[in-house]
Amino acid sequence: MTRIDTEVLVVGSGAGGAVTAATLAAAGRTVTVLEEGPWVDPDALEPFSLDEMRLKYRHRGLSAALGAPTIAFAEGRCVGGSTEINSGLFPRLPDELAEEWRLNYAIDEFTPATLARYADGIEAQLTVSTLPSAPPVSSALLERGATKLGWRSVEFRRVFRYEGGRATKQTMARTFIPRAVRSGARVIPDCRVAKLLRDGDRLVGARAKRSTPDGDEPVDIRAEHVFVCGGAVQTPALLLRSGIRARIGVGLKLHPMIKIAARFPFELDHGDVPMHRITEFAPYIEIGGSASRKGQVAMALADSGAEYSEAMTDWSHVAVYYAAIREGIGRVRVVPGLRAPIVTYNLTDADMSRLARGLVRLGEALLAAGATELYPSVGGADVVRRPEDLVSWWDAVTRTRTNLMTVHLASTVRMGENRACTAADSFGRIRGFTNLRVNDASLLPDAPGVNPQSAIMTIAARNCDEFLAS
Ligand SMILES: Cc1cc2nc3c(=O)[nH]c(=O)nc-3n(C[C@H](O)[C@H](O)[C@H](O)COP(=O)(O)OP(=O)(O)OC[C@H]3O[C@@H](n4cnc5c(N)ncnc54)[C@H](O)[C@@H]3O)c2cc1C
């Protein structure tokens, strides 16, 4: 048994955990980060490759929120968390949404001005920017389709550094984690926290297991303060496993995504994810592009249930696009004896019809951009070649035929002073505990409608300042 004494224990090293560790260590706190996944050199693996899925994803990328339809989802599990595998799109939380959350959930110090101050700081540290040159074809096509239809579109800024013709994603393993270590933080990979240990209204530490080549080694941690930053599924799971239940795990929000594999009469790029988004229907429907390596193209074509072998031989002309909504609600539960939590998600009939609308809008944009064949992620739906045939998709998007996925999960430990629907206070402190905080995607009280990493890091940085001030 290894025994660790620390002032601050941070569980998880992703977007929320890395900011927490770097900020608190820079302020002179003794910080220990325990990360369940391995350390993987950020330059070692091809982005969006099968090797990446094997080493950096939880369950090798195969997780699902059960429901009708079931929604496949992915989470990172490595030092840096999901920031190591994501696309680096970094839009800010829209001001109108921040204001809505502030009022509905009674969140203190959550004005657009306060959030902007923290977002400025994070963006400066991560060199968030637009492309220094023309966008790749797969991205420009979204802009072209939108422009032809008279819709709004925008190039999202990304968390990339552009130097000497090379674009390097500024993941947590490249930025905040090394900064935390330089300030004295200790980061322990391959170390899963199984349970938090409490004594009345205080946490005293945690029990963890570290995987080594010789087998699992128990680790006993004693800490004065605990920040749980395991992501929107694992954070509530750890709290529930530790007997901390009040309003934990309920209210899960995600962005259900419906996809189209679109074939064009010309070669497309496949190395990057499109940075353009069609914002005409925001915040209710977001339209964008996904990773489109050969494997992802094959999966998207297969999701259509159509005969796709001919399209697959031409896969270099095919890219994958999506329409995402903000609707639905779910839950994270733990079951004794099961290591993984059970995740469920419900969509209403109205939500399904919004997905159908998103799919049809996406189809319109892709055809306007020059696509010749559209394979929707709806089993048995028509492969569409002309705008007038898109109408057949309205009835095809049913609970049994539609294949959905997501990479954005949030809201399982909602923050705010509205005690009827939040588990943590305005700064992530769990009610009923003096020294337990959450500081990750779980705190977002609703689906942000845009890629969430910026909002997560902005809120985490703000919460750290409040912790240091108190
Ligand atoms: C494929 C993909 C693409 C995405 N693209 C974008 C994008 O372009 N832009 C964007 O804004 N967002 C994107 N996201 C989402 C974004 O990356 C996440 O919302 C964000 O990283 C969540 O931050 P987090 O701190 O809550 O959790 P994470 O970053 O997921 O980090 C949680 C970490 O905690 C660890 N952990 C969990 N439980 C334990 C435990 N018990 N003990 C020890 N460690 C534990 C996990 O292993 C993980 O490493 C994407 C996500 C994925 C998966």
DSSP per residue, 190-252? SEEEEEEEEETTEEEEEEEEEEETTEEEEEEEEEEEEEE-SHHHHHHHHHHHTT--TT-SEEE
Distance 34 CA to ligand 1 centre (A): 15
Ligand 1 midpoint to CA 407 (Å) = 9
**Side chain identity at 206, as an amino acid letter?**
A
> Any catalytic annotation for residue 408?
yes
Q: Which residues contact 43 (CB under 8 A, 6 or more apart)?
A: none
- Structural tokens at position 159: 């968390």
Burial of 259 per CB tally in 10 Å (0-12, 13-18, 19+): buried
Ligand 1 centroid distance, CA of 261 (Å): 26
Q: Which two tokens stand for residue 40?
A: 């993987």
First vs last C-alpha separation in the chain? 34
Phi-psi region of 396 (alpha: psi -120 to 50; beta: other; left: phi over 0): alpha
Q: Give the CATH number of domain 137-164+256-406.
A: 3.30.410
Contact 89, 451 (CB under 8 A): yes
Q: Which of 225, 270, 276, 408 is catalytic?
A: 408
Q: How far is the CA of 231 from the centre of ligand 1 (A)?
A: 6
Residues with CB under 6 A from ligand 1: 11-17, 34-37, 74-78, 81-83, 85-89, 192-193, 229-232, 234, 238, 407-408, 440-441, 451-453, 456
Separation CA 126–CA 129 (nearest Å): 9
Counting atoms of ligand 1 from 1, which one is nearest the CA of 37?
A: 47
Instruction: Locate the ligand 1 atom nearest the alpha carbon of residue 18 and give its number.
Output: 25
pLDDT tens-digit profile, the chain (470 residues)? 899 999 999 999 999 999 999 999 999 999 999 999 999 999 999 998 999 999 999 999 999 999 999 999 999 999 999 999 999 999 999 999 999 999 999 999 999 999 999 999 999 999 999 999 999 999 999 999 999 999 999 999 999 999 988 999 999 999 999 999 999 999 999 999 999 999 999 999 999 999 999 999 999 999 999 999 999 999 999 999 999 999 999 999 999 999 999 999 999 999 999 999 999 999 899 999 999 999 999 999 999 999 999 999 999 999 999 999 999 999 999 999 999 999 999 999 999 999 999 999 999 999 999 999 999 999 999 999 999 999 999 999 999 999 999 999 999 999 999 999 999 999 999 999 999 999 999 999 999 999 999 999 999 999 999 999 99
- Residue 397 carries which side chain, given as an amino acid letter? V
pTM of the model: 0.98
Domain ranges of the chain: 2-39+91-127+172-249+409-469, 137-164+256-406
Specify the CATH number of the domain 2-39+91-127+172-249+409-469.
Answer: 3.50.50.60
Q: Residue 75 CA: which ligand 1 atom is closest?
A: 53
